């Protein structure tokens, strides 16, 4: 493991995001969907934290809130020394340049009317750094860094393949020389061979520019390859958080175990050793989450106490926390 620098680049504390939802008729009272419910995590500079979890568990919402692209209800986001969520005006503009997003869909996330060069230039213009010739020099360098040819700057997004479009998205994200890049399913829309090209690129850029990644993916093979640590989310909560090797080799939470056991693998040994843990049914209605453990209705290890109180996140080993009543203090999992 890399040595942890004293101070994390990103520190998220007790972040909660809720959406107002109207249910039922005209006079129904407003209730809230807690898409992200009191989560905390940090990422060391130059490292990658992956967030995994099923569809609707709150991964994207958490990431969007970190970047201030949706409003947090409570909690704090420390970016270096800045209290990012309370910054205003010029300070906010400068800090925003430090946090960039790469989205899943390279087709939808680029403005179809702008040439590739203008797509990449936009964030530079809005930040107002350097004179025009300096900006052009940065654009040339960015195109080179992401593996696009200089003459491709003049083309429009539809003239590129999916992988090339994602390269443009990466170049755009790098333009403001950010420290943190949030990648929300950056390769899910791409073919496997093209995925490898982009994943290798992201890892190379991380080294070259000392980037910190918050990386969201539903593909656990990809996560394993990219991350230094992993947070597993279930219904808006982090249920397990550990460094890469602990999470994949010694998962403790029943949901994490079920998730990992469900991944089909080309490795014969893994197929023989993995006992599939089935979790039937669906998560409960997010508008009225249960009082106890949110995983209780699907958890093969559930006991009566599980539905009585919410299990808090507990530290089991250095850098390994888990929210389950039945994981023992010395790290024995219930299943």
Partner 1 sequence: MKPLLKVDNLRIELTTRDGVAPVIDDLSLQLNAGETLSFVGESGCGKSMTALALMGLLPEGVGRVASGQILFDGEDLTQASDARMREIRGNEISMIFQEPMTSLNPVYTIGEQIAEVLRRHQNLSRQAAWNKAIELLDAVRIPNPGARVSDYPHQMSGGQRQRVMIAIALACEPKILIADEPTTALDVTVQAQIFDLLRDLGRELGTATILITHDMGAVADMAERMIVMYAGRKAEAGPVEQIIEHPRHPYTKGLISCVPHLMATLTEERPELTEVPGIVPSLRDFGRDQCLFASRCDRADDKCKTSRPPEIEFENEQSSACWQAEQLR
Residues that bind ligand SF4 (CB under 6 A): 253-254, 293, 295-296, 299, 301-302, 306, 311, 324-326, 334
Comparing CB distances to ligand ATP, the nearer of 57 and 164 is: 57
Residues 33-62: x where in contact with Mg ion by CB under 5 A, - otherwise, as a string: ---------------------------x--
Residues 221-260: x where in contact with partner 1 by CB under 8 A, - otherwise, as a string: xx-xxx-----------------xx--xx--------xxx
Cα gap 291→64, rounded to integer Å: 27
Residue from 91, 141, 262, 287 in contact with partner 1 (CB under 8 A) = 262
Q: Is 3 a binder of partner 1 (CB under 8 A)?
A: no
C-beta pairs of 58-63 under 8 Å, 24+ apart in sequence: 58/17, 58/233, 58/235, 58/236, 59/184, 59/216, 59/233, 60/184, 60/216, 61/17, 61/35, 61/36, 62/12, 62/15, 62/17, 62/36, 62/233, 63/101, 63/182, 63/184, 63/214, 63/216
- Coil, strand or helix at 198: helix
Binders of ligand ATP in range 38-57 (CB under 6 A) = 53, 55-57
Comparing CB distances to partner 1, the nearer of 128 and 281 is: 281
Q: Is 196 a binder of partner 1 (CB under 8 A)?
A: yes
Nearest to 175 by CA among 227, 131, 215, 137: 137
Comparing CB distances to ligand ATP, the nearer of 61 and 229 is: 61
User: Do residues 35 and 18 make contact, with C-beta atoms less than 8 angstroms apart?
Assistant: yes
Question: Cα–Cα–Cα angle for 260, 184, 121, nearest 5°?
Answer: 155
The whole-angstrom distance between residue 25's C-alpha and the CA centroid of its chain comes to 36
Tell me, what DSSP letter sits at residue 30? Answer: P
Residue from 38, 42, 54, 122 in contact with partner 1 (CB under 8 A) = 54
Residues 135-174: x where in contact with partner 1 by CB under 8 A, - otherwise, as a string: --------------------------x-x-----------
Interface residue list for Mg ion (CB under 5 A)? 60
Summarize as ranges the residues that interact with ligand ATP (CB under 6 A): 19, 33, 35, 53, 55-61, 218, 286
């Amino acid at each position: 493991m890399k040595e942890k620098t004293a101070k994390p680049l990103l520190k998220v504390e007790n972040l909660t995001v809720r959406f107002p939802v109207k249910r039922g008729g005209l006079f129904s009272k407003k209730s809230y969907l807690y898409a992200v419910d009191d989560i905390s995590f940090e990422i060391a500079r130059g490292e990658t934290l992956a967030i995994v979890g099923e569809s609707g568990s709150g991964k994207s919402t958490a990431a969007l809130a970190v970047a201030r692209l949706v409003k947090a209800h409570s909690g704090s986001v420390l970016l270096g020394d800045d209290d990012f969520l309370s910054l205003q005006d010029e300070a906010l503009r400068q800090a925003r340049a430090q946090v960039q997003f790469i989205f899943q869909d390279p087709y939808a996330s680029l403005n179809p009317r702008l040439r590739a060069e203008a797509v990449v230039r936009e964030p530079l213009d809005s930040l107002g750094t350097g004179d025009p010739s300096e900006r052009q020099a940065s654009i040339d360098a960015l195109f080179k860094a992401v593996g696009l040819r200089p003459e491709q700057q003049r083309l429009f997004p539809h003239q590129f393949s999916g992988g090339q479009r994602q390269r443009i998205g990466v170049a755009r994200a790098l333009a403001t020389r950010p420290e943190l890049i949030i990648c929300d399913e950056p390769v899910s829309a791409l073919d496997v061979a093209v995925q490898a090209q982009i994943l290798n690129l992201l890892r190379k850029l991380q080294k070259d520019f000392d980037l910190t990644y918050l990386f969201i993916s539903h593909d656990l093979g990809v996560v394993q390859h990219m991350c230094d640590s992993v947070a597993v989310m279930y219904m808006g909560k982090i249920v397990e958080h550990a460094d890469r090797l602990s999470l994949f080799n010694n998962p403790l939470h029943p949901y994490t175990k079920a998730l990992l056991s469900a991944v089909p693998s080309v490795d014969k040994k893994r197929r023989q050793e993995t006992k599939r843990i089935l979790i039937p049914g669906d998560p409960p209605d997010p508008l009225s989450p249960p009082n106890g453990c949110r995983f209780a209705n699907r958890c093969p290890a559930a006991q009566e106490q599980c539905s009585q109180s919410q299990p808090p996140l507990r530290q089991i080993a250095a850098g390994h926390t888990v929210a389950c009543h039945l994981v023992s203090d010395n790290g024995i999992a219930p299943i």
